[in-house]
Amino acid sequence: LSRILRRRERLSHLSSVEDALNLLRTSKRIIILSGAGISTSCGIPDFRSSTGLYAQLQDEGRYELDDPQQMFDIRYFRERPEVFYSFAKQIYPSNFVPSPCHRWIKMLEDRGQLLRNYTQNIDTLENLAGVTKVLQCHGSFSTASCLRCKTRVPGPTIEPYIMAQKVPYCGACREARDQEIEARRKQREAAKKSKGKGKARAWGNGDDDDDEDSDESEWGGGEPGIIKPDITFFGQALDSEFDECLFKDREEVDLLLIIGTSLKVAPVSEVLTHIPHSVPQIFINLTPVHHVQPDICLLGDADSIVTYLSSQLGWTIPPPPVVLHP
Ligand code: CNA
């Protein structure tokens, strides 16, 4: 507590836009912690705003969810993947163009001031804006994996399923199952042959079918594994890269900039507590958050705020990239 109070005392002079401008001017190793609020202007709803996905899921009522968060819950997904796939195309990153915020982050990287962008977003708009020092803490749609055999496939492999609102099943599992069934069938045949003559049976008399069924259940039964986009659902752990990067970056960071997040989802929301107390924090968001006390709070639309800050600093935000859609 005394460390926190000392920090408050040391940084208590910070509060104004002028302070934010000075920090931006002088900081060389900035961590940006971003959330869904930097993509709302691209047309992608966030989770928790009054017009966000949770409110929409609640209003629509057609998904029969007890709680809108269930849509992104791994246990629920395992039970009822068809619910997520009937909805996923609404959040699939297709024709979106990076916002001024994404481009502002790119500009900081180009200026050599960005240590890393920890984004909670899964829309990959940072990549589209050209940001390379980005960690997609909650993964993205750029790859997908089988929940059963863990085979990873490129995201576009499941795009047709997302668009057709169908559940994709794993081709590798299916192949492994078919190979195993075939191998067992061959084994059985070989065993029969070596056991005795006179016991040969005609194909299609039913016995072989029974054997095939038992093979399938030995393999594990049912369908091959469900493929899930590699976005982190509630109940799933974050990639170890998150801890590794944070462990390294906390030694170097000189400014923490938090943009467009309600800071409600752990462990990313806990980044603030892992950063040394001497590092100043600027929070840019449409709505205030009451469970953290950043040094400087700039409330309003993130695009407008970063555009204003840039104009005051004489910086130019790069134009949006040219995106060619087929
Ligand atoms: P959240 O909890 O929905 O919070 C978003 C915050 O952004 C809210 O506090 C809003 O007030 C604020 N906000 C909304 N619009 C603006 C704006 N124009 N300018 C400034 N602030 C704005 O979302 P979080 O990111 O905090 O929660 C983390 C979740 C959201 C992660 O697991 C993400 O995967 C998930 N998510 C991501 C996307 C995306 O990739 N674009 C979209 C929706 C949800």
Q: What is the 3-class SS of 250-282, one letter each residue?
A: CCCCCEEEEECCCCCCCCHHHHHHHCCCCCCEE
H/E element, 79:
helix 74-79
According to the model, what pLDDT value does residue 64 have?
Answer: 78
**CA–CA separation, 96 and 45 (whole Å):** 12
According to the model, what pLDDT value does residue 65 have?
Answer: 86
Cα of 276 vs centre of ligand 1, distance in Å, is 25
Catalytic annotation on 138? yes
* 44 touches ligand 1 (CB under 6 Å): yes
Which pairs from 206-215 meet CB under 8 Å and 24+ separation? 211/185, 212/181, 212/185, 215/180, 215/181, 215/184, 215/185
According to the model, what pLDDT value does residue 204 have?
Answer: 38
Which single residue is written with the structure tokens 């009937």?
A: 86
Q: Report ipTM for this prediction.
A: 0.99
Q: Which two tokens stand for residue 241?
A: 């890269």
* 55 touches ligand 1 (CB under 6 Å): no
According to the model, what pLDDT value does residue 151 have?
Answer: 93
SS3 label, residue 283: strand
pLDDT < 70 positions in the chain = 1-14, 196-222, 323-326
Cα of 272 vs centre of ligand 1, distance in Å, is 17
Ligand 1 pocket: which of 32, 41, 46, 309 to mutate (most atoms within 8 A of CB): 46
**CA–CA separation, 238 and 240 (whole Å):** 6
Q: Which atom of ligand 1 is nearest to the CA of 301?
A: 19
According to the model, what pLDDT value does residue 222 have?
Answer: 59
Which single residue is written with the structure tokens 């944070």?
A: 246
Taking alpha carbons only, the member of 107, 103, 139, 137 closest to residue 323 is: 103
H/E element, 134:
strand 134-136
Cα of 191 vs centre of ligand 1, distance in Å, is 61
Cα of 27 vs centre of ligand 1, distance in Å, is 25
* 35 touches ligand 1 (CB under 6 Å): yes
* 68 touches ligand 1 (CB under 6 Å): no
Q: Which two tokens stand for residue 88?
A: 């996923």
* 286 touches ligand 1 (CB under 6 Å): yes
